[in-house]
A and B are shown apart, each in its own frame.
Chain A
Amino acid sequence: MEEKTSLFKKSGFQTLIASVLCAILGILLGFIILFFMNPGHAAEGMFAILRNFFKYANNKTNLLYYLGSTLVKSVPVVLCAEAILFAYKTGLFNIGCAGQYTVGIIASLYTGIALEWNWFLCILAAIAAGALWGCICGFFKAYCNVNEVIAGIMLNWIALYICNIILGNKKVMNTTKSETYNVSKNSLLPTFLSNLFGNNTYVTIAVPLTIIVAIVILWVLNKTTFGYELKATGHSKDAAKYAGMNAKRNIILSLVISGAIAGLAAGLYYLTGIEHYKIASSVPGMGFSGIAVAFLGGLHPIGAIFAGLFVEYITLGGQYLNTNYYNPQVADLMIAIIIYLCGFVLFFKTIMNKPTNKLGLKPGEDQANKDAADKTAHKKEV
């Protein structure tokens, strides 16, 4: 039986279209908000956000410098997205990513400022901390049947307060500026092609590492028996059990790895020195933005890279908004809306599939019925 599928019906292509649609819709809504706040300057404001660092188009060094900064700032959000999508493939919603990211900050900054370890060890510490946090969550899920969302959210707050206590230490925190000291030279990540980015020393090995991590995740999920097991557990816990897979072990491992990636995200960001940690009263948003990025990227490890770049591009674009006309928080609001809309990828895909798949079908026995239903079943493709 030959099946002719048009390009439009291919799942991967649909995801791409849906993601682009979401991004465009988000930008439109952002524009509407700007319009209501100050109609006269809305177009100008939107343009500033979208033009972003291309403002420096005539100055190549500056342009590349800011491009570099955007790349660096995209690293943590992309990695958080990778962490979330990895757990998601196993059927786990790792909202605790934010907490795992936070303990990653603790580990990397404490070892990098107070202990002045070598950068490599600092990164390892961050990974270990994230993994531990993921492990706690996984343990509760596997052995006490505590939903990973509940445990994750609670652990997020625990992480935040531990972070405030440890990084509030005089060895780490510059109390006059109420932010952490600079990371010691020894602990800064080695730069990577920074002369290519207008001598932006924040451009470090974090950038290529992120891409490598994404590729490794893709590889693990699709080529290894481990990925086969994890995905089987994610698709159908009962079938995985029937096949003799160890569901408990898989749940814990999946969250440990997810947590390790989140911890790595924190390490690879704060050890560039581009940002100092400030005592905060809320959990860092990076882990949550990661959720949106993961979905915007179609739950694909490579897609998440592009989605992360887009989200970070818009986020940084907020800085270019003219504060004479707009409250600086407006940029945050717009970004929040765009990120929110990013979660609608699946929704758009469903709409695209409407014509061939009418509702109200019972799980019949006809090949044809199933074929039609299959088009939507593809939603969760790898």
Chain B
Amino acid sequence: MEDYVIEMLHITKEFPGIIANDDITLQLKRGEIHALLGENGAGKSTLMSVLFGHYTPEKGVIKKDGKEVKINNPNDATALGIGMVHQHFMLVDIFSVLDNIILGSEPSKFGFLTKAEARKKVLELSNKYNLMVDPDALIEDITVGMQQRVEILKMLYRDNDILIFDEPTAVLTPQEIDELMKIMKELAAEGKSILFITHKLNEIMAVADRCSILRKGKYIGTVDVKNTTKEELSSMMVGRDVKFAVDKDEAQPKEEVLKVENVCVKSKLHSKDSVHNVSFNVRAGEIVCIAGIDGNGQTEFVGALTGLDDIESGKISLCGEDITKKSIRYKNTHGMSHIPEDRHKHGLVLDYTLEENMILQRYFEPAFSKNGLLKKDKTRKYSDKLAEAFDVRSGQGAQTIVRAMSGGNQQKAIVAREMDREHKLLVAVQPTRGLDVGAIEKIHEAIVKERDAGSAILLVSLELDEVMNLSDRILVMYEGEIVGEVDPKKTTLQELGLYMSGAKRDTGKEA
């Protein structure tokens, strides 16, 4: 008999109108790295919520070490040694690493903290797994990769032996990803069992032993990673064959659409500029990508470009017209489309319906209103048309409150809206964030089609695959500056990684 630490057998969880988990079985062996793969809305989160006791399943049992257990709340899960590294870290920025690790289970005597012991244990663990964490550093001073290790240490400190990683690589550089993979392998070798939630196939191939695939709430199967290929995994996940490389011809750049000259943006946090002297141009019919690690000024730059944030100095021209000081409405109606980085904060009014969101920048246009009165039927038709073209799925069609839609569908709705608006420049910030391969493929195709139709496209992305696949030129941003321009056909991921981490920079900056 196999040695399973956790078994989730025939789990069924229903919500009104939808079966989120339909007879799903997931068995985690001791000491293995088990990937859980699935599209958006496939039921991964629901399954993990069941494991953590957020939900009680209608059917099915959970077994730990072969014995049936009841998990009614997250505390039960913790008691069973199940720990999770969340996609968004749960750390207190102004606390030290050590304080964060002991938070929630502080060792104390007579009401006084006894940190010495805790420190010893943390250092031991850190050395054992080569985590190299400084217990006294403040969270806000260390890199994202380090912060993730603190999260890992938190689980180890609590003696968890079932570790769940929820899309852990989304925020890391290629080098950091490699190191995380090494750490995961070491943890598994030490007998910890790892459940690895992701939709990045490369990582599964690199690190996982087995992989379970969910699709639309159903269990598709579990495969040994050794005996499978990326193509097989993806077709199991999506239910059809998926192309990875984006089909595109050589770019045919024409006239200059966007020209950015010496743009500086003041930082809200410190005295240094968060964007410093950035200059480049984007021509019609090409995709220019700004690559870089999260937090190197991309957000601030896009803010200045689109008008969401103030610009300190410099000049931005759209089709030869100076738009540096123009209002957002002006930019919206004069040829700029913007797929924003944060779809919840900027891209959507979450409590509005899908149709109301589809006309967010256009509600005042004659097509959607007359004399200040909204044309609801026109809006409905328009929304339905866009939803069909971009396969935006929602519970109650155009009248669905957007908050109730899945993240992937929310993103598709924004992409649909921004692509359909009349524009000369498309600013796409992480357009495929949180989407599965099937949806990514479609959005990439749409972006390339846009380019071929003569749009200028400025892509800002943290996903290196996307950067390499999609762009015609790559600009790398590091600490607020463009440190290099590379041709995606001539560069490698490693070279890009060096630029992104600041280890390499072009001396003679090209525009």
Binding site for B on A (CB under 8 A): 1-5, 9, 223-226, 228-229, 231-232, 235-236, 238-246, 356, 358, 360-374, 377-378, 380
> CA of A242 to CA of B409 in the docked complex: distance in angstroms?
20
Q: List 11 A-B contacts (CB under 8 A).
A: A1-B393, A4-B16, A232-B352, A244-B328, A358-B54, A364-B45, A365-B44, A365-B407, A366-B44, A367-B409, A373-B404
Task: Indicate with 1 or 0, residue by residue over B347-378, a CB within 8 angstroms of chain A CB atoms.
Answer: 11111100010001101100001001110100
Interface membership of B430, Cβ < 8 A:
no
A242 in contact with B340 given A3-B396, A225-B373 (CB within 8 Å): yes
Contact of A364 with B49 in the complex, beta carbons under 8 Å: yes
Query: Which of B13, B361, B393, B409 meets A368, CB within 8 Å?
Result: B13
Q: Bound state CA distance, A374 and B41, in angstroms?
A: 15
In chain B, what residue has the closest Cβ to A242? Answer: B346
Q: Is B338 an interface residue (CB 8 A)?
A: yes
Q: Which residues of A contact B373 (CB under 8 A)?
A: 223-225
Q: Which residues of B have CB within 8 Å of A362? A: 45, 86
Nearest chain A residue, comparing its CB with the CB of B45: A364
Which residues on A sit within 8 Å (CB–CB) of B328?
241-244
Contact B401 A374 (CB under 8 A): yes
Give Cα A3–Cα B394 distance, bound, in whole angstroms: 11
**What is the chain B residue whose CB lies nearest that of A364?**
B45
Q: Which of B308, B361, B395 has the most CB of A within 10 A?
A: B395
Are B364 and A225 touching (Cβ within 8 A)? yes
CA distance A239 to B359 in the complex (A): 12
Q: Contacting A1 at CB < 8 Å: which of B306, B329, B340, B395? A: B395
Q: Is the CB of B356 within 8 A of A374?
A: no
CB within 8 Å for A366 and B406 given contacts A242-B340, A243-B360, A244-B332: yes
Query: Are A377's CB and B401's CB within 8 A?
Result: yes
A367 to B393 Cα, complex, angstroms: 10
Q: How far is the CB of B467 from chain A (nearest CB, A)?
A: 23
Which residues of chain B are within 8 angstroms of A245 by Cβ–Cβ distance?
Answer: 329
Q: A2-B17, A244-B328, A362-B86 are in contact. Are A371 and B404 (CB under 8 A)?
A: yes
Bound Cα distance A236, B352 (Å): 10
Q: Which residues of A contact B18 (CB under 8 A)?
A: 1, 367-368, 371
Interface readout for B242-267 with A: 1 if CB under 8 Å, 0 if not? 00000000000000000000000000
How many positions in chain B have a CB within 8 Å of any CB in the partner chain? 61
User: When the two chains form their complex, are residues A226 and B403 in contact, meaning their CB atoms are under 8 A apart?
Assistant: no
Contact bitstring B432-456, A, C-beta under 8 A = 1, else 0: 0010000000000000000000000
CB distance from A273 to the nearest CB of B (A): 38
8 closest pairs, A vs B, by CB?
A244-B329, A368-B20, A364-B45, A374-B404, A3-B17, A242-B346, A244-B328, A368-B15
* Distance in angstroms between the alpha carbons of A1 and B360 in the assembled complex: 25
* Interfacial chain B residues near A358, Cβ < 8 Å: 54-55
Query: What CA separation (Å) do A245 and B329 show in the bound complex?
Result: 7
By beta carbon, the residue of chain B nearest A382 is B351
Are A369 and B46 also in contact (CB < 8 A) when A225-B363, A236-B350 are? yes
Question: Is B74 part of the contact surface with A, judged by Cβ < 8 Å?
Answer: yes
Chain B, residues 292-314, CB within 8 Å of chain A (1/0): the string is 00000000000000101000000
Contacts of B131 in A (CB 8 A): none
Closest beta carbon of chain A to B455's beta carbon, Å: 20
B contact set with A: CB distance below 8 Å: 13, 15-18, 20, 40-41, 43-46, 49, 54-55, 73-74, 86, 217, 306, 308, 327-333, 338, 340, 344-352, 356, 360-361, 363-364, 369, 372-374, 376, 393, 395-396, 401, 403-409, 434
Inter-chain CB contacts under 8 Å: number: 149
* Interchain nearest-CB distance for A269 vs B (Å): 31
When distances are taken between beta carbons in the complex, the residues of chain B under 8 Å from A241 are 308, 328, 346
Q: With a CB–CB cut-off of 8 A, which chain B residues contact A363?
A: 344
Q: Output the residue of A9, A241, A362 with the most chain B CB within 10 A.
A: A362
Please give me the residue from chain B that is nearest to A3 by CB atom.
Answer: B17
Distance in Å: Cβ of A349 to nearest Cβ of chain B: 15
Inter-subunit contact A367/B405 (CB<8 Å): yes
Of A4, A9, A361, A366, which is in contact with the most chain B CB atoms at under 10 Å from its CB? Answer: A366
Q: How far is the CB of B21 from chain A (nearest CB, A)?
A: 8
Asked if A369 meets B45 with Cβ closer than 8 Å, knowing A1-B395, A358-B55, A377-B403, the reply is: yes
Q: Are A361 and B54 in contact (CB under 8 A)?
A: yes
Residues in B with CB closer than 8 Å to A368 are: 13, 15, 18, 20, 41, 43, 46, 217
Residues from chain A with a CB closer than 8 A to the CB of B44 are 365-366
Interface centre among A9, A236, A246, A363 (most CB of B within 10 A): A236
Q: Which chain A residue has the least Cβ–Cβ distance from B348?
A: A239
Q: Once the chains are docked, how many angstroms separate the CA of A223 from the CA of B360?
A: 15
B20 & A224 in contact (Cβ 8 Å cutoff): no
> How far is A356 from B46 in the complex, measured between Cα atoms in Å?
14
Known A363-B344, A368-B46; further 5 A-B contacts with Cβ < 8 A: A243-B360, A243-B361, A360-B73, A371-B15, A372-B15
Contacts of A239 in B (CB 8 A): 345-349, 360
Nearest chain B residue, comparing its CB with the CB of A5:
B16
User: In the complex, how many angstroms separate the beta carbon of A247 from the nearest chain B beta carbon?
Assistant: 10
Chain B residues lying within 8 Å of A378, measured Cβ to Cβ, are 401
* Cβ of A73 to closest chain B Cβ, rounded Å: 35
